[in-house]
Chains A and B, each alone.
Chain A
Amino acid sequence: MGIKNLGQQGIVFAVFTALFPIFAIALPGFLTTANMLTLLQNVAVLGILGLAMAIVVIGRGIDISLIAALAVPPGLVLQMVQDGHSLSISLAAAFALSIAFGLVNGWLIAYAEVPSLFTTLASGLFLAGLGQAALFKLDVVQWSPGLDGFEKLGQGNLLGIPMPVVMFALACIAVAFLLRQTRLGAYIYAIGDNPNGARVTGIPTRPIIVLQYVMAALIGCAAGLIMASSVNSMPTRIFNSTLIYDVILVVVLGGIGLSGGRGGVVNVIIGTLLIGTMLNGMTIMDVSYSGQNLVKGVVLLIAVITDSFLNPRNEETAQQGDI
């Protein structure tokens, strides 16, 4: 296999395997069990969000509202428990909200045919605004005694592995199974590859697209619950952070083309590993927040440029019209 056939995921994995030993040798305290677990724990939520984004991007869409889906329904759980509702009712309410949100996103994109970028941009703003205006009393929704035991989702461990990492692994298996082994997965790839072709073949494209956004919202909600339980609160202002760019970075860096139909869970894992290693290394080196953003930007540009050199656009792919 020459470098021509390596593809973007190969390049990114090669960069990861090169970066890892350099950090291990150069940075004291990098290659310790404790740090490795921290590293994984820190990127677990990012990885889960990457999976949600991957499902949508493979189907030739994009979901900018993912951070709102991460912040608001889990915030609702914390708020409702604080207000004296039982945990199960609160969770049910959060999942119902997520499903409704996914349905609205999906309906607008599939049936009203509004481009996914604009739909999710607007719906994300709406959901975040709704949360802050109507649902939460404070920007940071605090943990309350009614949630005791639930924090194990974020802070517990299974056989010494932190729970968020276990959850990421489970999510990877579930999504990989969905995409590779089920009819639904085959349909998502088909829609991403050629939406008109999928339609003419007799695939019910519109319900499948709606389902993609519902799944993305639910996975986002799960990621939010894990995040909230690991820090014992839900900082709903996270919506204003650059987290969504990190998620897109993971997906694109991993090699899931924005034009749809390409890539899978492996790409998300590779993207997450590289980003996680980089962020962890930079934190140990005490690089400032803006410095980290600079590095991330450069890495993404290099990845995209390398890919277009190794896999030049030909007439066939040029007609596809990437986002």
Chain B
Amino acid sequence: MSEIILSLNKATKLYAGVPAIDGVDFELRRGEIHALVGENGAGKSTLTKVMAGVVTLTSGTMQVNGADVMPKTPLEARHLGIAMVFQENSLVPTMTVAQNLFLGQERFYNRLRGIYISAQQFLQSLNFDVTPTATVGLLGAAKKQMVEIARAVLHDAKVIIFDEPTATLTPEEKKYFFDLVRDLKRRGVSIVFISHALEEALILADRITILRDGKHVVTDEAAKFDRARIVQAMVGRDLSNTLYGARKTTMRTAGARVLTVQNLKMAPMVKNNSLSVFAGQITGVFGLVGAGRTETFKVVAGVLKRDFFHGGEVLLHGKPVRYRVPAPAVRAGIAYVTEDRKVEGFFETMSVARNIYLGLLAKLPGGRFFLSRREADNVGSKWVERLKVRTTGNSMKVVELSGGNQQKVVIAKSLVQEPDLIIFDEPTRGVDVGAIVEIHELIQRLADEGKAVVVISSYLPEIMALSDGILVSRQGKVVEEFSAFEATEEKIMYAAVH
């Protein structure tokens, strides 16, 4: 069983002279589940992309079954028996499951009934509960992933690589995914998966490899790791006590009621939702994917594009408000920090300072017509310093920053607008461990300053570590409220899934 199926020796990949991975040695045994763990930018993705033929090594060698190989395209890697399941999945949304499975392998006469039948048989043999005639775009994240996995197996993959496979899955789906991966292992397939959720790596993996700054830190049996040891290896310093710190021992008292949502309806995601948010407190909103958390707060901030508002009331400082676009909400002091910073967060062609300055401009009431370079620089430097954004200068572009620093810029762009109500939607998604701590400190500080803060998160330890009050959302409405003292992970999860 311990035969080496794939190995990398002194693997180095330079991007514009900067190493993304630097002399990494990696070995994958036949039929093992191998977790890759590391901060953002540690080189996990690059390492897996090398194996999958998406990028080619600058130096170093790769062996599959003992033979030297160097796949230059994903197709070459596939012929070697290596398949990769990407984070943004690579299925064609308008085609059916069966069409996707056989994509690229169609015969000249592509009989639909034929591929439906073979797809059905194949999916049944894998024990996958997916209808072959279903359109992929209409499937949930978990089912899409099943199709991706099925395709990899169909291509006779001996090595399947997953990039953050559980990021978009609900807990039940995760469980199912774990069973699936174990089943693949029994079939003799080797699995490599990247994960930010350390518990998953500990539960699922046989061995864990930890990378830091493009270098290999340690590879060992999963049984020999625990949370603290992994975190320490990832960041090179002992962080486990400050990150998602020990249980809260103090709780802020509630100030004035800033936001009240009463019986908000919005088809199909929000059903009769009611909640309150208070100044000087962090209100944590927990719920599984599809619980209508994000949608509720997007209605509050005017971010939702189409008007699906079907009734109910939003009160800001006791006055009823209804924002159809974000601009008036911003002027009224509501800031929404997006969960998807690439799509609705930062401006990628612009400098850090210009990004933050645009936030200021959008808030300035009417008057300002001319731009002031000095003001932009001042505002930029002030916030870069305040949020400890690591840049090489104000003129550095946001795309060149790491995920954590990009997130800080997006936050700064909102904070420069001096909001009273700040809604953080998944504030630490795709953010490295060091930056998570800094962002959490910042969120705490905002509440201490008397702002009303909302943190929407799917990650329980984050909710537990930050919140003074916790709202649990399920199927479109808040179903349970806890104070920080009475909440336990079990109680919250129980409310969220039932």
A296 on interface, CB distance cutoff 8 Å? no
A313 on interface, CB distance cutoff 8 Å? no
A241 on interface, CB distance cutoff 8 Å? no
Q: Given A183-B369, A183-B370, A200-B344, A261–B327 Cβ distance below 8 Å?
A: no
Complex contact B342–A319 (CB within 8 A):
yes
Selected from B325, B336, B370, B414, the residue in CB contact (under 8 A) with A182 is: B370
- A186 and B370 CA atoms in complex are apart in Å by 10
B269 on interface, CB distance cutoff 8 Å? no
B417 on interface, CB distance cutoff 8 Å? yes
Complex contact A194–B362 (CB within 8 A):
no
B380 on interface, CB distance cutoff 8 Å? no
Say how far B447's CB is from chain A's closest CB, in angstroms: 22
Per-residue CB contact flags for chain A residues 194-216 toward chain B (1 = under 8 Å, else 0) read 10111111111110000000000
Per-residue CB contact flags for chain B residues 74-102 toward chain A (1 = under 8 Å, else 0) read 00000000000000000000000000000
Complex contact A203–B346 (CB within 8 A):
no
A181 on interface, CB distance cutoff 8 Å? yes
A contact residues around B346 at 8 Å (CB): 194, 197
Complex contact A262–B345 (CB within 8 A):
no
- A196 and B340 CA atoms in complex are apart in Å by 11
- A186 and B347 CA atoms in complex are apart in Å by 11
B18 on interface, CB distance cutoff 8 Å? no
Complex contact B347–A197 (CB within 8 A):
yes
Per-residue CB contact flags for chain B residues 164-188 toward chain A (1 = under 8 Å, else 0) read 0000000000000000000000000
Complex contact B359–A201 (CB within 8 A):
yes
Complex contact B347–A190 (CB within 8 A):
yes
- A203 and B302 CA atoms in complex are apart in Å by 12
A contact residues around B325 at 8 Å (CB): 199, 204-206
B460 on interface, CB distance cutoff 8 Å? no
A13 on interface, CB distance cutoff 8 Å? no
B29 on interface, CB distance cutoff 8 Å? no
A143 on interface, CB distance cutoff 8 Å? no
- A43 and B342 CA atoms in complex are apart in Å by 40
Q: Which of the listed residues A198, A206, A319 has the most CB atoms from chain B within 10 Å of its own CB?
A: A198
B contact residues around A189 at 8 Å (CB): 347, 349-350
B contact residues around A316 at 8 Å (CB): 348, 399
Selected from B354, B368, B417, the residue in CB contact (under 8 A) with A202 is: B417
Selected from B338, B342, B354, B363, the residue in CB contact (under 8 A) with A200 is: B338
Per-residue CB contact flags for chain B residues 218-261 toward chain A (1 = under 8 Å, else 0) read 00000000000000000000000000000000000000000000
Per-residue CB contact flags for chain A residues 95-138 toward chain B (1 = under 8 Å, else 0) read 00000000000000000000000000000000000000000000
Residues facing A in B392-419 (CB within 8 A) are 399, 413-414, 417
Q: Given A193-B347, A194-B344, A202–B370 Cβ distance below 8 Å?
A: no
- A184 and B349 CA atoms in complex are apart in Å by 17
Complex contact A200–B348 (CB within 8 A):
no
Per-residue CB contact flags for chain B residues 367-388 toward chain A (1 = under 8 Å, else 0) read 0111100000000000000000
Selected from B301, B358, B399, B417, the residue in CB contact (under 8 A) with A190 is: B358
- A186 and B326 CA atoms in complex are apart in Å by 18
Q: Given A193-B348, A193-B350, A261-B349, A203–B342 Cβ distance below 8 Å?
A: no
B303 on interface, CB distance cutoff 8 Å? yes
Complex contact B369–A194 (CB within 8 A):
no
B440 on interface, CB distance cutoff 8 Å? no
B contact residues around A194 at 8 Å (CB): 343-348
- A205 and B344 CA atoms in complex are apart in Å by 13
- A198 and B358 CA atoms in complex are apart in Å by 9
What is the predominant secondary structure among interface residues of chain A facing chain B? helix
Complex contact B369–A182 (CB within 8 A):
yes
Complex contact A203–B349 (CB within 8 A):
no
Say how far B351's CB is from chain A's closest CB, in angstroms: 12
Q: Given A202-B417, A319-B342, A183–B349 Cβ distance below 8 Å?
A: no
- In the complex, what residue of chain B is closest to A196 when comparing beta carbons? B344
- A198 and B359 CA atoms in complex are apart in Å by 9
Q: Given A182-B369, A193-B350, A262-B349, A202–B344 Cβ distance below 8 Å?
A: no
Q: Which of the listed residues A190, A193, A202, A316 has the most CB atoms from chain B within 10 Å of its own CB?
A: A202
- In the complex, what residue of chain A is closest to B350 when comparing beta carbons? A193
B contact residues around A261 at 8 Å (CB): 347, 349-350
A224 on interface, CB distance cutoff 8 Å? no
- A302 and B331 CA atoms in complex are apart in Å by 47
A contact residues around B361 at 8 Å (CB): 183, 186-187, 203
B330 on interface, CB distance cutoff 8 Å? yes
- In the complex, what residue of chain A is closest to B88 when comparing beta carbons? A319
Say how far B88's CB is from chain A's closest CB, in angstroms: 8
- A204 and B370 CA atoms in complex are apart in Å by 17
A254 on interface, CB distance cutoff 8 Å? no
Q: Given A183-B361, A186-B361, A201–B413 Cβ distance below 8 Å?
A: yes
Say how far B446's CB is from chain A's closest CB, in angstroms: 18
- A193 and B363 CA atoms in complex are apart in Å by 19
Say how far A74's CB is from chain B's closest CB, in angstroms: 30
B329 on interface, CB distance cutoff 8 Å? yes
Complex contact B349–A202 (CB within 8 A):
no
A contact residues around B359 at 8 Å (CB): 201-202
Complex contact A181–B370 (CB within 8 A):
yes
Known: A261-B349, A316-B399. 19 other contacts (CB 8 A): A182-B371, A183-B368, A186-B354, A186-B361, A187-B358, A194-B347, A196-B343, A196-B344, A199-B303, A199-B344, A200-B326, A200-B336, A200-B345, A201-B413, A202-B326, A204-B325, A205-B325, A261-B347, A316-B348
A-B pairs with beta carbons under 8 Å apart, 10 shown: A186-B358, A193-B347, A193-B349, A197-B343, A197-B347, A198-B358, A202-B362, A205-B325, A261-B349, A261-B350
Nearest 5 A/B pairs, CB to CB: A202-B330, A202-B362, A196-B344, A193-B347, A204-B327
B interface residues with partner A (beta carbon < 8 Å): 301, 303, 325-327, 329-331, 336, 338, 342-350, 354, 357-359, 361-363, 368-371, 399, 413-414, 417
